[in-house]
Chain A
Amino acid sequence: MAGLTNTLAGLDPLFLNGVTLEVLIIVLVKVVISFGVLLVSVMLMVWFERKLVSDMQNRIGPNRAGPWGILQTLADGIKLFFKEDLQPDSSDPFVFKLAPYLSLIPAFLTFAIIPIGGNFSDPSDPSKTGIITLPDWLGGESTYLQLADPPVGVLLFLAMSSIAVYGVMLAGWASGSKYPLLGSVRASAQMVSYEAALGLSLATIFLQSRSLSTHDIVADQAGAGWLGIIPHWNVIVTGFVPFVVFLIAATAELNRPPFDLVEAEQELVGGFHTEYSSIRFAMFFLAEFMNTVTLSAIMVTLFFGGPAGPILWDGVAWLWPILWFLLKLFVFLFTFVWFRATLPRFRYDQLMDLGWKVLIPISLGWFLFLAGRNVVDDRWPNTNGSLFSVEVLILLGITIAILTVGALLLYSAIRNAAEKRELEEVTF
């Protein structure tokens, strides 16, 4: 029993005194809130995306349902719900019905590990380590503002994103039709390829924060860094490269433009969900946007300090971290829409080249470099992370030399392979 509680809760103080009815109610409220927040955010996200894309294309966009068309998604959802549900004769009946759930459920589960609030500003003060204490008339319990803090934390996100591949893959296969099948084969190859780069850039975070738990990672980024103004966020501490790799790989994992080969309309009709209609199609749609929101939240958590930020007015101190979190989230959601509105789609070979020959080597090299820096910090603690001590300079020299040799080897291998292909007159 103790084992199971630890598994679900991690170090959340809510469970320290055993599971009582109060605790159970708090957990249920958290589940309902995060479910509701995610659904509402998807609704707003679809509207925001359509409105923003139409702005960038000099159109008006949705403007009928509700003020500024903000209820358009709701109207679309109701319409989809009442449409006829079609199932092709040649489909595999059970797998066809199973696939939408395999897309949707991982999208929900990933959001559970994200801390959306709590004051993380001072690790030495127990009330400022992300713990929220409810007022006495609500029971006075202390808890984290996140649904679950499992010890494997971010690995849960990786596991869920690898399960989400099945939704797309099985949907394409079970449709029993050729365009969905092509879409799903593309999807599985793409998602598996970019998962490697995703995992490698995450490894630099684990190395920096020395923990897998999202709560610990956020707590590790709290406080001011260099010069007292620049925040101690992982995006700066790990030197931007892992973040850029993560952003690109995340866009590919989401199958969003410019990586939307899975549902390239000009080539594959609708891609893996061509044969889906009605509520099953709505589930895929929901999962896609939910994943966008969740991955943006993951990026905020891992690289941008999560809910960290200055508390400008003490009156509603608990609200500020949530506001900061939402603001950062909004920046990423905007970025994803911006990508979609401005970048043309990749060709399939360009996609594979970028994943295997650029992103994976870069993130691997950067990971080794950061590991080397950590070794210096461990062996010669008196350098205090300073950039210009002798040891750090020696390390930098050795690292750059090794990485240059590695990069040259890789480059020559790629060139060699390209020449061979040309000799054999393969056209791709």
Chain B
Amino acid sequence: MVEIIVFAVCAAIVLVGAVGVIAARNPVHSALFLIQTLFGMAVLFISLEAHFLAAVQVVVYAGAIVILFLFVIMLLGVDQAEDLNIEPIVGQRFIAFIVGAATFVLMVATLAGSSDAITGQRQATGPLGDELTDNNNVRELAEALFTDYVFAFEATAILLTIAVVGAVVLAKRTSGEMLPVPQNTLEIREADYQARVDARAAELEANAAAAAEAGEDGSAEASSAAASDDDTADDEMADAEGGDA
């Protein structure tokens, strides 16, 4: 009875989280929904007596991976809600829908075709040891990882290290020859800034001159009227401030 209630509550949490991940407009909210899903899964693991798996699920996925997602989202400042009406890659949504539907059909077919669909038995060969003896979860997992599957385990570790090094190398690659940063960077930047300011000032001046030439006849009056409007507004604001004070 208790297990059914736990399962129902967790399933609801997991499903709501999973839908939320793709439905939320803000990437940070998506990440939070992902954590909700991971937590629901962790509780399901506990109800299946896979305690170690549950703890690792929280420590590694919720504690490290989603944190890194959030870190990147915050650092790059892409935490704004996106306009979903624009399709970045043409045809991507249609293909994604087809692939998703195909995967779903495949999953249902696999589940329906497996033995436990009829008998209701899980396919596990037995529990991962008994908590009340020494042969608990952690011991069983450790023995499996470091005896039977030690090669795969080490290979995975090396693969992950290579991935990290590769990411760093790719990120550091620069196009063309590496040139030393010039000594007088600040002066160059300042000169550049000054040049841009001058250019902008010249542009504004030219615009003003053009406007004055083109609108000798009525626009001058309009602009002066606007200026006087501005003046009165400023006065009103000053009055208000004076009143407050």
List residues of A whose CB falls within 8 A of some B CB.
Answer: 1, 3-4, 6-7, 10-11, 92, 95, 150-152, 155-156, 158-159, 161-163, 165-166, 169-170, 173, 181, 184-185, 188-189, 192, 195, 212, 423-425
Contact at B35–A166, with CB atoms within 8 Å?
A: yes
Contact at B2–A1, with CB atoms within 8 Å?
A: yes
- Within the complex, which residue of A6, A156, A424 is in contact with B55, where a contact is CB–CB below 8 Å? A156
Q: Interface of chain B, helix or strand or loop or mixed?
A: helix
Nearest CB in chain A: distance from B186 CB, A: 12
| C-alpha gap A1/B180 in the complex (Å) | 68
CB of B138 closer than 8 Å to a CB of A: yes
Contact at B67–A159, with CB atoms within 8 Å?
A: no
Contact at B28–A4, with CB atoms within 8 Å?
A: no
Contact at A163–B28, with CB atoms within 8 Å?
A: no
Known contacts: A181-B74, A185-B74. The answer to whether A165 contacts B32 by CB under 8 A is: no
Interface string of B13-39 (1 = CB under 8 A from A): 000000000000010110010010000
Contact at B75–A6, with CB atoms within 8 Å?
A: no
Chain A residues in 8 Å Cβ range of B59: 155, 158-159, 162
| C-alpha gap A1/B35 in the complex (Å) | 26
Chain A residues in 8 Å Cβ range of B70: 169, 173, 188
Nearest CB in chain B: distance from A407 CB, A: 19
Known contacts: A3-B49, A95-B28, A188-B67. The answer to whether A159 contacts B55 by CB under 8 A is: yes
Interface string of B50-75 (1 = CB under 8 A from A): 01101110110011100110110011
| C-alpha gap A184/B71 in the complex (Å) | 9
Chain B residues in 8 Å Cβ range of A212: 138
- Which B-chain residue is minimally distant from A181 (CB atoms)? B74
Sort chain B's interface into a size bin: 35 or more
List residues of B whose CB falls within 8 A of some A CB.
Answer: 1-3, 6, 26, 28-29, 32, 35, 46-49, 51-52, 54-56, 58-59, 62-64, 67-68, 70-71, 74-75, 79, 131-132, 136-138, 178, 180-181
Chain B residues in 8 Å Cβ range of A195: 63-64
- Which A-chain residue is minimally distant from B71 (CB atoms)? A188
| C-alpha gap A229/B28 in the complex (Å) | 55
- Within the complex, which residue of A152, A163, A189, A423 is in contact with B62, where a contact is CB–CB below 8 Å? A163
Contact at A192–B28, with CB atoms within 8 Å?
A: no
Chain B residues in 8 Å Cβ range of A161: 63
| C-alpha gap A169/B56 in the complex (Å) | 21
Contact at B6–A424, with CB atoms within 8 Å?
A: no
Q: What 20 additional pairs, Cβ within 8 angstroms, besides A151-B51, A166-B67? A: A95-B28, A151-B138, A152-B55, A155-B59, A156-B55, A159-B55, A159-B58, A159-B63, A162-B62, A166-B35, A173-B70, A185-B71, A185-B75, A189-B71, A192-B67, A195-B63, A195-B64, A424-B178, A424-B181, A425-B181
Chain B residues in 8 Å Cβ range of A181: 74
Q: Interface of chain A, helix or strand or loop or mixed?
A: helix
| C-alpha gap A152/B52 in the complex (Å) | 6
- Within the complex, which residue of A1, A151, A170, A184 is in contact with B3, where a contact is CB–CB below 8 Å? A1
Contact at B180–A165, with CB atoms within 8 Å?
A: no
Contact at A7–B67, with CB atoms within 8 Å?
A: no
- Within the complex, which residue of B47, B74, B132 is in contact with A184, where a contact is CB–CB below 8 Å? B74
- Which A-chain residue is minimally distant from B48 (CB atoms)? A3
Most chain A CB within a 10 A radius of its CB, from B52, B63, B75, B180 = B63
Contact at A7–B46, with CB atoms within 8 Å?
A: yes
Known contacts: A155-B59, A159-B55, A424-B180. The answer to whether A6 contacts B131 by CB under 8 A is: yes
Question: What are 22 A-B pairs with beta-carbon distances under 8 A?
Answer: A3-B48, A3-B49, A7-B51, A10-B131, A95-B28, A95-B29, A151-B137, A152-B55, A155-B55, A155-B59, A156-B55, A162-B62, A166-B67, A169-B71, A170-B28, A173-B74, A173-B79, A189-B71, A192-B68, A195-B63, A424-B181, A425-B180
Nearest CB in chain A: distance from B25 CB, A: 12
Chain B residues in 8 Å Cβ range of A424: 178, 180-181
- Which B-chain residue is minimally distant from A98 (CB atoms)? B32
Chain A residues in 8 Å Cβ range of B71: 169, 185, 188-189, 192
Chain A residues in 8 Å Cβ range of B55: 152, 155-156, 158-159
Nearest CB in chain B: distance from A90 CB, A: 12
Known contacts: A159-B55, A423-B180, A425-B180. The answer to whether A165 contacts B63 by CB under 8 A is: yes
Chain A residues in 8 Å Cβ range of B54: 152
